[in-house]
Each structure stands twice: as structure tokens, then as C-alpha cells.
Amino acid sequence: MTQYRHTQIGYVIFATIGGAMVLILLLMDLYEFNWIPLIVLAILAICLVLFATLTVEIDEQHLRIRFGPGAISKKFPLQDIESHQEVKNRWYYGWGIRRIPHGWLWNVSGLDAIELLLKNGKKFRIGTDDPEALNRSLQQALGK
């Protein structure tokens, strides 16, 4: 049974990639056929599907995160989580999956995140537009 589930939409990602796709389509209409813009368009469409949303789920045993439909995902056994806290990311940490000074960051939009400290000492940040609810759900799931 899922105790928490929230999907954050990356509106800026939608606007940026969608705008680039529209621009490419307009340019393809103006010039003669070429495979390169078509390939770029396909890559942008795949990126849009894969990275435009971030879903966080907590059940009895795991915290799961996934981008888009779930081709890119990660799960943490709850028993491996030492602690968690609300944090603010620096603006230049950006979006997507990246290494930051505090460990790893998975983020689709905004600066708010929950930082997990795992029992093995590693840190992991999950971007969210609802940090209070995610933090509260983690507290309940961990029995704290």
C-alpha cells in the first residue's frame, strides 16, 4: 500500500523543450528536407517524455523516485535511511540527475528538496514542490 505519492511537473522543462521542438518544426518547414533536424526533434521528444516529471512514492518498505514513465528510477529501502531534512538547493545545481557537493540530486524544478542521509554515509537530494508533505510522510514511514 502506498503511503505517499506525488508527481511534480517541470513546467520550465516543458516550455523549453517544447519551444525548441516548435522552432525546429518551423525551420523544417522553411528549408528542404534534412535528417538532422528530424533526429534532433526525436531526441528532444524522448527527453521531454523521460525528464518532464518526477514522481516520489513511499510504501511500507521503500522510497521510490522516477522520472517520467519510470525508465529512469531509483529506490531506497526505508531501513537504509538514517535521517532526512528539508533543504534548499542552490540555483546553479540545476535540474535532472547530477552530482552536487552534498551527494546526488534528482530534480525536475525549483529549489526545494529533501536530503536523505543513508546509513552508509551517502547523501541524496530529491527535489520537490511539496517538501513539508514529503518530510512528514518520511517521518511516518520511518516511525519517527
Q: Domain limits of the chain?
A: 9-50, 55-142
pLDDT category of residue 70 using cuts at 50, 70 and 90: very high
| Average pLDDT score over the chain | 94
pLDDT value of position 101: 93
Helix (H) or strand (E) holding 113: strand 112-118
**What CATH architecture applies to the domain 55-142?**
Roll (2.30)
Q: Which helix (H) or strand (E) holds 58?
A: strand 53-58
Sheet with 103-107, side-by-side order of all strands: 81-88, 112-118, 123-127, 103-107, 96-100
Q: Can you tell me whether residue 129 is helix, strand or coil?
A: coil
The yes-or-no verdict on residue 144 having pLDDT over 90 is: no
pLDDT surpasses 70 at 1: no
Average pLDDT on 54-81 reads 96
Residue 2 scores a pLDDT above 80: no
Q: What mean pLDDT do residues 131-141 have?
A: 95
Phi, psi values for residue 7, rounded to 5°? -115, 125
Phi, psi (rounded to 5 degrees) for 104: -110, 145
